[in-house]
Amino acid sequence: MALAAGCSAAPIDKPLPMGPVDTGPGTLEEARNYLHGAWTLVSMEIFPPNQPSIRAAATGTMVYDDYSNMTVDVQLSQETTKLAEQNGIPAPDGLIHTTGRTVIDFNSKSISYVLDGQESFRPPKGPLDLNRPRYWDVKGNLLTLRTKDETGRVLSVSVWQKK
């Protein structure tokens, strides 16, 4: 016991063995490479519960960097601004600027966005909540993102084009 008490703690300097990162079609690395760069919002449609859909809901840009960080700047339409504010999303003058990190789930083809300073895991607060996963479809340089509610009903569809 006396010997054990005299020993001080020290960091472990042994590297953990890691295998190579999977690359190529159908991998997380492929998804990150596809997302990397600047995107322009081509169209957005929102389907609020018990209301008519809102077309031309926003314009904007999205930038995905080397470290899975994403910055999104959108200018909401007047209707969408009201809907955002009703759901607790601050949009002064219809502008939303967000920065955060992404979590890609390749199996469900979804991407989640965790804003800087936001809790990593919290339930979504409304149909436009940025915390909702976006389910993607890819066609060439077009990325279609859909948000869904807990029953699978589509809440929004946005189409982005790579610059």
CATH of the structural domain 48-162, one choice from 1.10.3470, 2.40.128, 1.10.1060, 3.30.70: 2.40.128
Cα separation of the two ends of the chain = 66
Domains of the chain by residue range:
48-162
Alpha-carbon span 53 to 50, nearest angstrom: 9
Distance in angstroms (rounded) separating the CA atoms of residues 102 and 125:
19
* Rounded-to-10 torsion of CA 62, 67, 69, 70: 10
pLDDT, residue 24, reads 63
Residue 160 has what pLDDT?
97
- Tokens 């018990």 locate to 50
Residue 143 phi/psi, 5° resolution? -115, 120
- Residue whose tokens read 């084009």: 161
* The amino acid at 107: N
pLDDT of residue 22: 59
pTM of the model as a whole: 0.79
Question: Which residues in the chain come in under a pLDDT of 50?
Answer: 1-6, 8-9, 18-19
Helices marked H in the chain: 2-5, 28-35, 78-86
Amino acid at 95: L
